[in-house]
Protein backbone atom coordinates (compact mmCIF):
# COMPACT_ATOMS: atom_id res chain seq x y z
CA UNK A 1 0.00 0.00 0.00
CA UNK A 2 1.27 3.48 -0.78
CA UNK A 3 2.02 5.89 2.03
CA UNK A 4 -0.77 8.38 2.64
CA UNK A 5 0.25 11.74 1.28
CA UNK A 6 -1.11 14.06 3.97
CA UNK A 7 -0.63 11.85 7.01
CA UNK A 8 2.34 9.54 6.44
CA UNK A 9 2.74 6.60 8.77
CA UNK A 10 5.67 8.05 10.63
CA UNK A 11 6.09 9.01 14.23
CA UNK A 12 8.70 11.39 15.57
CA UNK A 13 8.86 9.17 18.65
CA UNK A 14 10.74 6.72 16.45
CA UNK A 15 13.59 9.17 16.08
CA UNK A 16 15.02 8.34 19.48
CA UNK A 17 15.34 4.57 18.92
CA UNK A 18 16.83 5.32 15.54
CA UNK A 19 19.43 7.49 17.19
CA UNK A 20 20.24 4.70 19.63
CA UNK A 21 20.85 2.30 16.78
CA UNK A 22 22.98 4.92 15.06
CA UNK A 23 24.99 5.49 18.19
CA UNK A 24 25.57 1.76 18.53
CA UNK A 25 26.87 1.57 15.00
CA UNK A 26 29.17 4.49 15.67
CA UNK A 27 30.49 2.86 18.81
CA UNK A 28 31.18 -0.35 16.90
CA UNK A 29 32.68 1.59 14.01
CA UNK A 30 30.44 -0.45 11.73
CA UNK A 31 29.00 2.02 9.25
CA UNK A 32 29.59 -0.50 6.49
CA UNK A 33 26.97 -2.77 8.03
CA UNK A 34 24.37 -0.05 7.67
CA UNK A 35 25.24 0.47 4.04
CA UNK A 36 25.15 -3.26 3.29
CA UNK A 37 21.76 -3.60 4.99
CA UNK A 38 20.37 -0.90 2.74
CA UNK A 39 22.00 -2.00 -0.48
CA UNK A 40 21.06 -5.65 -0.12
CA UNK A 41 17.40 -4.82 0.47
CA UNK A 42 16.52 -3.40 -2.93
CA UNK A 43 18.05 -2.65 -6.33
CA UNK A 44 20.49 0.20 -6.66
CA UNK A 45 19.23 3.52 -7.89
CA UNK A 46 19.79 4.23 -11.57
CA UNK A 47 23.31 5.54 -11.56
CA UNK A 48 25.46 2.82 -12.99
CA UNK A 49 23.31 1.89 -15.94
CA UNK A 50 24.78 2.69 -19.31
CA UNK A 51 21.44 2.35 -21.10
CA UNK A 52 20.45 5.98 -20.90
CA UNK A 53 22.26 8.05 -23.50
CA UNK A 54 23.63 11.48 -22.82
CA UNK A 55 21.04 13.95 -23.98
CA UNK A 56 21.70 17.56 -24.83
CA UNK A 57 19.65 20.22 -23.09
CA UNK A 58 18.25 22.94 -25.32
CA UNK A 59 19.35 26.36 -24.17
CA UNK A 60 16.09 27.91 -25.30
CA UNK A 61 13.09 25.83 -24.21
CA UNK A 62 10.66 27.32 -26.69
CA UNK A 63 9.58 23.91 -27.93
CA UNK A 64 7.53 22.25 -25.16
CA UNK A 65 8.01 18.82 -26.71
CA UNK A 66 11.80 18.98 -26.69
CA UNK A 67 11.60 20.58 -23.25
CA UNK A 68 9.68 17.64 -21.86
CA UNK A 69 11.99 15.09 -23.45
CA UNK A 70 15.13 16.78 -22.19
CA UNK A 71 13.65 17.26 -18.73
CA UNK A 72 12.95 13.56 -18.44
CA UNK A 73 16.43 12.74 -19.65
CA UNK A 74 17.89 15.05 -17.00
CA UNK A 75 15.85 13.44 -14.26
CA UNK A 76 16.76 9.84 -15.00
CA UNK A 77 20.27 9.84 -16.41
CA UNK A 78 23.19 8.63 -14.30
CA UNK A 79 24.46 10.38 -11.22
CA UNK A 80 27.77 11.16 -12.86
CA UNK A 81 26.08 12.72 -15.87
CA UNK A 82 23.68 14.68 -13.69
CA UNK A 83 26.53 16.17 -11.70
CA UNK A 84 28.92 16.72 -14.60
CA UNK A 85 28.33 20.44 -14.88
CA UNK A 86 28.26 21.29 -11.20
CA UNK A 87 31.10 18.94 -10.32
CA UNK A 88 33.34 20.37 -13.02
CA UNK A 89 32.72 23.79 -11.50
CA UNK A 90 33.59 22.40 -8.07
CA UNK A 91 36.83 21.02 -9.45
CA UNK A 92 37.69 24.44 -10.85
CA UNK A 93 36.92 26.05 -7.53
CA UNK A 94 39.02 23.51 -5.63
CA UNK A 95 42.02 23.94 -7.89
CA UNK A 96 41.79 27.71 -7.77
CA UNK A 97 41.25 27.73 -4.01
CA UNK A 98 37.95 29.55 -4.34
CA UNK A 99 35.60 29.32 -1.40
CA UNK A 100 36.31 28.72 2.29
CA UNK A 101 35.68 24.94 2.06
CA UNK A 102 37.63 24.32 -1.14
CA UNK A 103 39.16 20.87 -1.05
CA UNK A 104 40.32 18.36 -3.61
CA UNK A 105 37.67 15.67 -3.39
CA UNK A 106 37.35 13.08 -6.18
CA UNK A 107 34.12 13.61 -8.10
CA UNK A 108 33.52 9.86 -8.28
CA UNK A 109 33.76 9.61 -4.51
CA UNK A 110 31.05 12.21 -3.97
CA UNK A 111 28.91 10.57 -6.66
CA UNK A 112 29.23 7.27 -4.80
CA UNK A 113 28.17 8.91 -1.55
CA UNK A 114 25.11 10.41 -3.27
CA UNK A 115 24.17 7.02 -4.71
CA UNK A 116 24.64 5.30 -1.34
CA UNK A 117 22.50 7.89 0.41
CA UNK A 118 19.73 7.57 -2.19
CA UNK A 119 19.72 3.81 -1.66
CA UNK A 120 19.51 4.34 2.09
CA UNK A 121 16.64 6.81 1.65
CA UNK A 122 14.76 4.26 -0.46
CA UNK A 123 15.40 1.64 2.19
CA UNK A 124 13.90 3.89 4.87
CA UNK A 125 10.95 4.81 2.66
CA UNK A 126 10.09 1.19 1.93
CA UNK A 127 10.37 0.34 5.65
CA UNK A 128 8.12 3.34 6.42
CA UNK A 129 10.71 4.59 8.87
CA UNK A 130 11.96 8.05 9.63
CA UNK A 131 15.55 8.85 8.71
CA UNK A 132 17.84 10.78 11.02
CA UNK A 133 20.73 13.05 10.17
CA UNK A 134 22.95 10.80 12.27
CA UNK A 135 21.95 7.84 10.06
CA UNK A 136 22.95 9.66 6.91
CA UNK A 137 26.33 10.64 8.31
CA UNK A 138 27.11 6.99 8.91
CA UNK A 139 26.26 6.17 5.30
CA UNK A 140 28.61 8.87 4.02
CA UNK A 141 31.23 8.28 6.70
CA UNK A 142 34.48 10.01 5.81
CA UNK A 143 32.67 12.75 3.90
CA UNK A 144 30.69 14.30 6.75
CA UNK A 145 32.00 17.76 5.93
CA UNK A 146 30.23 17.44 2.57
CA UNK A 147 26.95 16.42 4.19
CA UNK A 148 24.96 19.42 2.93
CA UNK A 149 26.03 18.91 -0.67
CA UNK A 150 25.52 15.14 -0.68
CA UNK A 151 22.17 15.38 1.11
CA UNK A 152 20.90 18.02 -1.32
CA UNK A 153 21.86 15.98 -4.38
CA UNK A 154 20.42 12.78 -2.93
CA UNK A 155 17.16 14.56 -2.11
CA UNK A 156 17.02 15.87 -5.68
CA UNK A 157 17.44 12.34 -7.03
CA UNK A 158 14.62 11.11 -4.81
CA UNK A 159 12.43 13.90 -6.13
CA UNK A 160 13.30 13.70 -9.82
CA UNK A 161 13.72 9.95 -10.28
CA UNK A 162 11.36 8.42 -7.74
CA UNK A 163 8.80 11.21 -7.25
CA UNK A 164 9.42 11.55 -3.50
CA UNK A 165 10.04 14.64 -1.40
CA UNK A 166 12.42 14.47 1.56
CA UNK A 167 11.23 16.77 4.34
CA UNK A 168 12.45 17.45 7.86
CA UNK A 169 9.58 16.68 10.25
CA UNK A 170 11.44 17.04 13.55
CA UNK A 171 13.97 19.91 13.57
CA UNK A 172 15.08 19.13 17.13
CA UNK A 173 16.08 15.51 16.49
CA UNK A 174 16.73 16.12 12.78
CA UNK A 175 14.30 13.48 11.55
CA UNK A 176 13.23 13.29 7.91
CA UNK A 177 10.17 11.70 6.30
CA UNK A 178 9.30 10.93 2.69
CA UNK A 179 6.22 12.18 0.87
CA UNK A 180 4.87 11.30 -2.56
CA UNK A 181 5.04 14.37 -4.78
CA UNK A 182 2.34 16.51 -6.34
CA UNK A 183 -0.46 15.25 -4.09
CA UNK A 184 -0.39 11.78 -5.63
CA UNK A 185 -1.08 8.77 -3.43
CA UNK A 186 0.47 6.10 -5.67
CA UNK A 187 3.98 4.69 -5.47
CA UNK A 188 3.54 1.40 -7.34
CA UNK A 189 5.05 -0.70 -4.55
CA UNK A 190 2.84 -3.69 -3.87
CA UNK A 191 2.26 -4.55 -0.22
CA UNK A 192 4.56 -7.30 0.99
CA UNK A 193 6.63 -7.35 -2.19
CA UNK A 194 10.01 -5.91 -3.09
CA UNK A 195 10.18 -2.98 -5.44
CA UNK A 196 10.90 0.69 -5.72
CA UNK A 197 8.63 3.73 -6.01
CA UNK A 198 7.43 4.21 -9.58
CA UNK A 199 5.80 7.59 -9.05
CA UNK A 200 8.61 9.36 -10.88
CA UNK A 201 7.80 7.47 -14.08
CA UNK A 202 4.11 8.29 -13.67
CA UNK A 203 4.79 12.00 -13.14
CA UNK A 204 6.99 12.15 -16.21
CA UNK A 205 4.35 10.47 -18.37
CA UNK A 206 1.74 12.90 -17.06
CA UNK A 207 4.14 15.64 -18.05
CA UNK A 208 4.56 14.22 -21.55
CA UNK A 209 0.78 14.09 -21.99
CA UNK A 210 0.27 17.65 -20.82
CA UNK A 211 3.11 19.09 -22.88
CA UNK A 212 1.86 17.24 -25.97
CA UNK A 213 -1.56 18.88 -25.75
CA UNK A 214 -3.31 16.63 -23.18
CA UNK A 215 -2.90 13.47 -25.22
CA UNK A 216 0.22 11.65 -26.33
CA UNK A 217 0.47 8.71 -28.67
CA UNK A 218 2.03 5.53 -27.39
CA UNK A 219 4.89 6.08 -29.82
CA UNK A 220 5.54 9.56 -28.43
CA UNK A 221 5.57 8.28 -24.85
CA UNK A 222 8.00 5.48 -25.63
CA UNK A 223 10.28 7.82 -27.57
CA UNK A 224 10.66 9.89 -24.44
CA UNK A 225 10.98 6.93 -22.08
CA UNK A 226 13.72 5.45 -24.25
CA UNK A 227 15.82 8.48 -23.34
CA UNK A 228 15.75 7.16 -19.78
CA UNK A 229 16.71 3.61 -20.71
CA UNK A 230 13.13 2.30 -20.44
CA UNK A 231 12.13 0.27 -23.49
CA UNK A 232 8.94 -1.64 -24.32
CA UNK A 233 9.41 -5.37 -24.00
CA UNK A 234 12.65 -5.07 -22.01
CA UNK A 235 12.20 -5.99 -18.36
CA UNK A 236 14.16 -4.01 -15.79
CA UNK A 237 15.27 -4.77 -12.26
CA UNK A 238 13.92 -1.37 -11.22
CA UNK A 239 10.50 -1.21 -12.91
CA UNK A 240 9.84 -4.77 -14.05
CA UNK A 241 7.90 -4.99 -17.30
CA UNK A 242 7.58 -1.33 -18.38
CA UNK A 243 4.81 -1.99 -20.89
CA UNK A 244 2.68 -3.69 -18.23
CA UNK A 245 3.46 -0.89 -15.78
CA UNK A 246 2.32 1.81 -18.17
CA UNK A 247 -0.51 0.21 -20.15
CA UNK A 248 -1.97 -1.90 -17.33
CA UNK A 249 -0.89 -0.86 -13.82
CA UNK A 250 -1.15 2.89 -14.30
CA UNK A 251 -4.38 2.40 -16.25
CA UNK A 252 -5.89 0.07 -13.65
CA UNK A 253 -5.03 2.64 -11.01
CA UNK A 254 -6.96 5.22 -13.09
CA UNK A 255 -3.91 7.47 -13.42
CA UNK A 256 -3.78 7.00 -17.17
CA UNK A 257 -6.28 6.34 -19.94
CA UNK A 258 -5.09 4.14 -22.77
CA UNK A 259 -7.25 4.13 -25.86
CA UNK A 260 -7.15 3.66 -29.60
CA UNK A 261 -6.70 6.80 -31.68
CA UNK A 262 -9.93 7.43 -33.57
CA UNK A 263 -9.90 6.36 -37.22
CA UNK A 264 -6.29 5.18 -37.03
CA UNK A 265 -5.35 2.50 -39.56
CA UNK A 266 -3.19 0.67 -38.73
CA UNK A 267 -4.36 0.99 -35.15
CA UNK A 268 -2.52 3.48 -32.95
CA UNK A 269 -3.01 4.11 -29.26
CA UNK A 270 -2.71 7.18 -27.08
CA UNK A 271 -2.46 8.12 -23.42
CA UNK A 272 -4.48 10.70 -21.50
CA UNK A 273 -4.67 11.65 -17.84
CA UNK A 274 -6.94 9.31 -15.90
CA UNK A 275 -9.63 10.37 -13.47
CA UNK A 276 -7.43 9.74 -10.44
CA UNK A 277 -4.65 11.92 -11.84
CA UNK A 278 -7.14 14.75 -12.34
CA UNK A 279 -8.46 14.25 -8.80
CA UNK A 280 -5.11 14.10 -6.99
CA UNK A 281 -2.87 16.55 -8.81
CA UNK A 282 -3.06 19.52 -11.15
CA UNK A 283 -1.54 20.63 -14.43
CA UNK A 284 0.17 23.47 -12.61
CA UNK A 285 1.92 21.10 -10.20
CA UNK A 286 3.13 18.92 -13.07
CA UNK A 287 4.29 21.96 -15.04
CA UNK A 288 6.14 23.31 -12.00
CA UNK A 289 7.85 19.95 -11.57
CA UNK A 290 8.99 19.83 -15.20
CA UNK A 291 10.13 23.44 -15.06
CA UNK A 292 12.13 22.76 -11.90
CA UNK A 293 13.83 19.76 -13.50
CA UNK A 294 14.78 21.90 -16.45
CA UNK A 295 15.83 24.89 -14.34
CA UNK A 296 13.28 27.29 -15.78
CA UNK A 297 9.96 28.90 -14.84
CA UNK A 298 6.47 27.56 -15.70
CA UNK A 299 5.58 30.88 -17.32
CA UNK A 300 8.29 30.19 -19.90
CA UNK A 301 5.64 28.05 -21.62
CA UNK A 302 2.77 30.50 -22.18
CA UNK A 303 0.13 28.15 -23.58
CA UNK A 304 0.62 25.43 -20.96
CA UNK A 305 0.93 28.00 -18.19
CA UNK A 306 -2.29 29.73 -19.25
CA UNK A 307 -4.11 26.39 -19.39
CA UNK A 308 -2.81 25.44 -15.94
CA UNK A 309 -3.89 28.80 -14.50
CA UNK A 310 -7.34 28.37 -15.98
CA UNK A 311 -7.66 24.95 -14.37
CA UNK A 312 -6.60 26.42 -11.01
CA UNK A 313 -9.31 29.10 -11.30
CA UNK A 314 -11.94 26.51 -12.20
CA UNK A 315 -10.99 24.36 -9.22
CA UNK A 316 -11.19 27.38 -6.92
CA UNK A 317 -14.65 28.28 -8.19
CA UNK A 318 -15.80 24.69 -7.77
CA UNK A 319 -14.56 24.59 -4.16
CA UNK A 320 -16.25 27.88 -3.34
CA UNK A 321 -19.50 26.69 -4.89
CA UNK A 322 -19.36 23.44 -2.91
CA UNK A 323 -18.73 25.37 0.31
CA UNK A 324 -21.65 27.67 -0.41
CA UNK A 325 -23.98 24.73 -1.00
CA UNK A 326 -22.78 23.02 2.17
CA UNK A 327 -23.35 26.19 4.18
CA UNK A 328 -26.84 26.60 2.75
CA UNK A 329 -27.77 23.03 3.59
CA UNK A 330 -26.42 23.41 7.13
CA UNK A 331 -28.35 26.65 7.64
CA UNK A 332 -31.59 25.17 6.29
CA UNK A 333 -31.35 22.24 8.70
CA UNK A 334 -31.24 24.51 11.75
238-270 confidence digits (pLDDT tens)? 778 899 999 999 999 999 999 999 998 899 999
Same domain for 157 and 117: yes
Q: Would 41 be classed as within a structural domain?
A: no
**At residue 19, does pLDDT exceed 90?**
no
Same domain for 286 and 312: yes
Instruction: Say what the pLDDT of residue 47 is.
Output: 39
Among the residues of 2-106, which ranges form H helices? 15-27, 31-39, 64-76, 79-82, 84-96
Instruction: Say what the pLDDT of residue 319 is.
Output: 84
151-204 pLDDT, tens digit each = 999 999 999 999 999 999 999 999 999 999 999 998 988 765 667 899 999 999
Q: Would 40 be classed as within a structural domain?
A: no
Residue 45 pLDDT level (bands cut at 50, 70, 90): very low
Residue 104 pLDDT level (bands cut at 50, 70, 90): low
**CATH code, domain with 161:** 1.10.10.1200
**At residue 28, does pLDDT exceed 50?**
no
Q: Would 223 be classed as within a structural domain?
A: yes
Same domain for 217 and 149: no
Instruction: Say what the pLDDT of residue 294 is.
Output: 85
Angle at 25 between CA 23 and CA 118, to 5 degrees: 100
Q: Which residue has the higher pLDDT, 74 or 9?
A: 9
* CA gap 160, 54 in Å, rounded: 17
CA 33 from chain center: how many Å? 27
What is the percentage of the chain residues whose pLDDT exceeds 70? Answer: 66
**At residue 219, does pLDDT exceed 90?**
yes
36-44, Cβ contacts within 8 angstroms, sequence gap of 24 or more: 37/123, 38/116, 38/119, 38/120, 38/122, 38/123, 38/139, 39/116, 39/119, 41/123, 41/126, 41/194, 42/119, 42/122, 42/123, 42/126, 42/194, 42/195, 42/196, 43/196, 43/237, 43/238, 44/115, 44/119
Instruction: Say what the pLDDT of residue 96 is.
Output: 41
**CATH code, domain with 240:** 1.10.10.1210
Domain of 138 in residue numbering reads as 107-180
Average pLDDT over residues 52-75: 41
Q: Highest-confidence range of 69-78, 165-174, 185-194, 223-232, by mean pLDDT?
A: 165-174
Q: Which residue has the higher pLDDT, 333 or 201?
A: 201
Residue 203: HSE in the Cβ half-sphere, 13 Å Cα cutoff: 35
Instruction: Say what the pLDDT of residue 277 is.
Output: 97
Same domain for 223 and 116: no
* CA gap 298, 211 in Å, rounded: 12
Q: Among 13-27, 129-143, 309-323, whose mean pLDDT is lowest?
A: 13-27
Instruction: Say what the pLDDT of residue 189 is.
Output: 84
Rg (CA), the chain: 22
Instruction: Say what the pLDDT of residue 194 is.
Output: 66
**At residue 66, does pLDDT exceed 60?**
no
**At residue 302, does pLDDT exceed 60?**
yes
Instruction: Say what the pLDDT of residue 229 is.
Output: 86
Count of the separate structural domains present in the chain: 2
137-154 pLDDT, tens digit each = 999 988 889 999 999 999
Average pLDDT over residues 11-16: 47
Q: Would 187 be classed as within a structural domain?
A: no
Query: Nearest to residue 45, comparing CAs of 207, 223, 228, 226?
Result: 228
Angle at 160 between CA 5 and CA 274, to 5 degrees: 55
Average pLDDT over residues 26-42: 43
Same domain for 142 and 245: no
Residue 20 pLDDT level (bands cut at 50, 70, 90): very low
* CA gap 57, 67 in Å, rounded: 8
What is the residue-averaged pLDDT of the chain? Answer: 75
Same domain for 300 and 243: yes
Its sign, for the CA torsion 60, 61, 66, 70, is: positive
Output the CA–CA distances (angstroms, integers) from residue 275 to 110, 154, 281, in the order listed. Answer: 42, 32, 10
Its sign, for the CA torsion 147, 286, 282, 310, is: positive
Average pLDDT over residues 90-94: 43
Contact residues for 1 (Cβ-Cβ < 8 A; gap 6+): 191
Same domain for 173 and 227: no
Amino acid sequence: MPLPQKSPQYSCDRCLPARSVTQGLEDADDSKALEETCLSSHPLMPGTSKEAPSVGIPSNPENPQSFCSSSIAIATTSTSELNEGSDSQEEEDSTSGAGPDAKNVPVDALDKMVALLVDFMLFKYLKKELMTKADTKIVIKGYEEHFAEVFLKASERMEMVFGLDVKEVDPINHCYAFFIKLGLTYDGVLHGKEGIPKTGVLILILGVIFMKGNSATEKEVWEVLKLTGIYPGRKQSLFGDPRKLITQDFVKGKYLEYRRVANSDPAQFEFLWGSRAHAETTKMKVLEFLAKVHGTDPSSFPSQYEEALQEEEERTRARMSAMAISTSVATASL
